[in-house]
Amino acid sequence: MSEHLSPEAIRVLGVLIEKELATPEYYPMTLNSLTNGCNQKSNRDPVVAYEESEVRYAIEELEKHRLIGHVSGAGSRAEKFRHAVAEKLGLGREERAALAVLLLRGPQTIGEVKSRSGRMADFDSLDATADVLRALRDREDPLVVQLPLQPGKKEARIMHLMGGEIDLEALEEQAAAEASRPVATSSLSEEITDMKSRLAALEDAFERFRAQFE
């Protein structure tokens, strides 16, 4: 992939694609809702705690690669953002959904991509999911790559290439650490972060509603 993005830009791009497909009523996104989307505790790996300034820098980075755009709604005072992946990379809904899963969750098996696409896209089968991932891999400028099969694993994982060259040794160390890590339980802080994300989405919806009467 020719676009070598920072982890922050990758997370921002993944959130924009996810919201466009899963909750279009809350898309495009304000800086506040985008920050909360990046910092969600659920459906994110790794979990991060970005400041709005970090998200703003990521937006500027994506602008340089022409992967993001600004939206000015009628009567809306809040600046909003949308991704430009469909236009620049020519990706359909299923391809965007699969890519979003990889951007937000890291390397995944074909089955995980299918099950974690959620409301973004409806994959009929594992074969259909594999076909979409194969299309992303076989492009002239590949967007994903299949990683070597890890010892003890039955299925290889797929990883996006938006961040540039892959450090396989670091990935193996990360996988080993995750295998030995106890399963995390829900915490109050996780619930608060999710509530903030929902509140930001409601604020966006209210802003749209109010703009109709201004």
CB 22: neighbour CB atoms within 10 A? 17
Residue 152 pLDDT: 78
Q: What is the DSSP string of 141-166?
A: S-SEEEPPPPTT-SS--EEE-TTSS-
Q: How far apart, in whole angstroms, are the C-alpha atoms of residue 115 and residue 44?
A: 15
Q: How far apart, in whole angstroms, are the C-alpha atoms of residue 192 and residue 36?
A: 11
- The domains of the chain, with CATH numbers, are 7-180 (1.10.10.10)
Q: At what angle do helices 31-38 and 52-64 cross, to 10 degrees?
A: 100
Alpha carbon distances (Å) from 57 to 44, 51, 52, 99, 117: 20, 10, 9, 22, 27
What's the pTM?
0.79
Planar angle of CA 65, 12, 127, nearest 5 degrees: 90
The length of the chain, given as a count of residues: 214
- Residue by residue, pLDDT tens for the chain (214 residues) are 566 999 999 999 999 999 999 999 999 999 999 999 999 999 999 999 999 999 999 999 999 999 999 876 555 578 999 999 999 999 999 999 999 999 999 999 999 999 999 889 999 999 999 999 999 999 999 999 999 988 878 899 999 999 987 766 666 666 566 556 664 544 565 566 566 656 666 666 666 666 556 5
Q: How far apart, in whole angstroms, are the C-alpha atoms of residue 148 and residue 150?
A: 6
**Type of residue found at 103:** L
